[in-house]
Every structure is written in structure tokens, then in C-alpha cells.
Amino acid sequence: MFNYKYIITYVSLLFTFFVHGGEVSITIDDFNFNDQLLSGEERNNEILKTLTKHKIIAAGFVTTKYLSLPNAQNGVEAWSKAGHLIGNHTENHFSYAKTNFNDFSNDVLLADGKLKVFKTFQKFFRFPYLKEGETEEKRDQLRKFLISQGYKNGAVTIDASDWYVNKRMLDKLKVYPDFDKTKFRDFYLKHLWDRTQYYSSLSQKTLGRDVKHTLLLHHNLTTALFLDDLIEMFKSKGWKVIDATEAFNDPIYKLQPKNIPAGESLIWALAKDKGDKTLRYPAEDGEYEKAEMDKLGL
């Protein structure tokens, strides 16, 4: 005789497994306050409004050369007053793969000096372009330096090419000011969901579990216009959008992959360490999205 109690419990567990999504936090890089249809201040206000609406604490990794732009200092201060984490993204946004250790480490310190004025500044460092050194010597030099300065790696787990979608949209709007931006929104959401699924699956494959993710976005027009849609999309798919401070407490962010060249998504790098032969390099690039965007007329 069937025990329907156990059958119901089993089905419930299966249902929970398939509908339960992951956890993702919002992290935003650069803070270039240049005009992109909206002014830097307008973009910042839209992003902050969305984060407040959803009661989310994000992380902002600031490239401090942009603080000299109009309203940038006040814009980052608004982030800090709202409780968002402020992290170091260097002074000049040099690629470490193209910069020597002395110049790059000095660039980190320049940014550190400028960011200390913000109350929510924490010593999380994010590498520009996610490039952490093309040789073991450079990789290890910088890691030791960051530890000596009290920094943790503000790594990305879900990498993507939002910057490329943003560039394509700006280019299109210059020629066709009335172009339907919802077409870019739809591609943007599809692209970010695709990359989320990929890195979530890669995490399960590599670590045997999913992690508390950090999603890489940029302080640009697509984020200002579509962040609310993005968060709603995650929620509709059963994902929980968590605070960045919570995400960075996941043990994965203490790991230091050994792959050379160092960098990319932290999950990608750990998979590379394990000898995964399916990985492309670079992990993400606008060229991977070009053909589909061309086909769609974007």
C-alpha cells in the first residue's frame, strides 16, 4: 500500500528544488558621470531610486578619476548616505595586464585616499576589466599588496557585457533618437539571464553548490533605465536579490584561484583551475553578443 504522506513530501521537495532560484547581489562599476542621454546625476538618481524601491544594498566600485566630473562626488556621497557599500576600482582604471606592479599599486592607493571620505567605504577591491595579472609573479605581488593594505577581493561571479549593450544603444540613439528602447531592454534582460544561468550552472558543476552571486553591472544608461526590470525579472524567476554585504560573506570570496592569466569571473577561474575544457577566453566580451544584436537590428 502506498504511503501518500511520503509521496506528497517527495513531490514537494522536487517542486522546491525546481522552482527555488539562487541569490544574487547588485554590484556597479566605474561611476563615470558623463552624459549618456541622461546626465550622470540623473542616471545616479534613477539607480538609487530603484535600489531604494526594492530595499537592496548594492556595492559601488568607484574609479576615482571620475570624481572630478560634475555632481560625481555628491553622487557617490548619495550612495554612501543610502547605506550602499563603496569599494575601490582604482584611480585610472588601468588594466593590470598592461600595467606594471608599481604603477598599478600606486593607482590603488590614490583611489584609497579619495574614497576614505565616504562613510560606507569598505576595503573591497575590484580589478578593472577583471584582469588580475598575466604572470604568477604579478598576480602574487598584487595579492600580497592588497592583503597588506587590508583589502579583500571584490570579485565578480556573474560576468556579462552590459557595457556592450549600453554602447550599442547609445550608438543607435545617436542615429535614430526615437528608436524603441524596449528592444534593447528585452535583449539586455535575456543576455543577463543567460549569463546568470551559465554561471549558476558552472558553480554547481565546479563547487557542488550555488553561491551568493555578485552580478557585474556598470553605472550607465542601461542600468538607469532597466535595473528595475532586471530585479523584477530575477524575482519572477524565483531568485532572491540580496544585499552585496551578504553576498561577500560567502566563503567563495576568500578563495584565490591559481589560473594564469589571472582574473575573469571568480567561478570561471575556479573552473579553470579544475581543468574545465569548455571555457572560452575571455569569459565575456562584446564580440560574443555582436552577431545576435546585428541580426536584431540593435
The single-letter code of the amino acid at 92 is: N
pLDDT of residue 146: 99
pLDDT of residue 20: 57
Mean of the per-residue pLDDT values for the chain?
94
What pLDDT, in 10s, does the model give residues 131-152? 999 999 999 999 999 999 999 9
pLDDT of residue 244: 99
Q: Do 32 and 253 touch, CB atoms closer than 8 A?
A: no
Question: Which of 16-25, 204-213, 216-225, 251-260 shows the lowest per-residue confidence on average (mean pLDDT)?
Answer: 16-25
Helix (H) or strand (E) holding 152: strand 152-153
Q: Do 206 and 271 touch, CB atoms closer than 8 A?
A: yes
Superfamily of domain 22-295 in the CATH hierarchy? Glycoside hydrolase/deacetylase (3.20.20.370)
The single residue listed with the C-alpha cell 569599494 is 87
The percentage of residues in the chain with a pLDDT greater than 70, rounded to a whole number, is: 93
- Smallest CA-to-CA distance from 287 within 109, 164, 126 is with 164
- Smallest CA-to-CA distance from 218 within 129, 117, 97, 107 is with 129
pLDDT of residue 8: 38
Whole-angstrom Cα distance, residue 127 to residue 145? 13
What pLDDT, in 10s, does the model give residues 219-263? 999 999 999 999 999 999 999 999 999 999 999 999 999 999 999
Q: Do 105 and 145 touch, CB atoms closer than 8 A?
A: yes
Q: Do 85 and 214 touch, CB atoms closer than 8 A?
A: no
For the cut 80, the answer to whether the pLDDT of residue 213 exceeds it is yes
For the chain, how big is the Rg over CA atoms in Å?
A: 20
The single-letter code of the amino acid at 149 is: Q
For the cut 70, the answer to whether the pLDDT of residue 17 exceeds it is no
What pLDDT, in 10s, does the model give residues 30-71? 999 999 999 999 999 999 999 999 999 999 999 999 999 999
Q: Choose between 65 and 21: higher pLDDT.
A: 65
Question: Which of 19-33, 72-86, 177-191, 201-215 shows the lowest per-residue confidence on average (mean pLDDT)?
Answer: 19-33
- Diameter of the chain measured on Cα atoms: 75
| DSSP category for residue 54 | T
For the cut 50, the answer to whether the pLDDT of residue 3 exceeds it is no
Per-residue pLDDT band for 117 (boundaries 50, 70, 90) equals very high
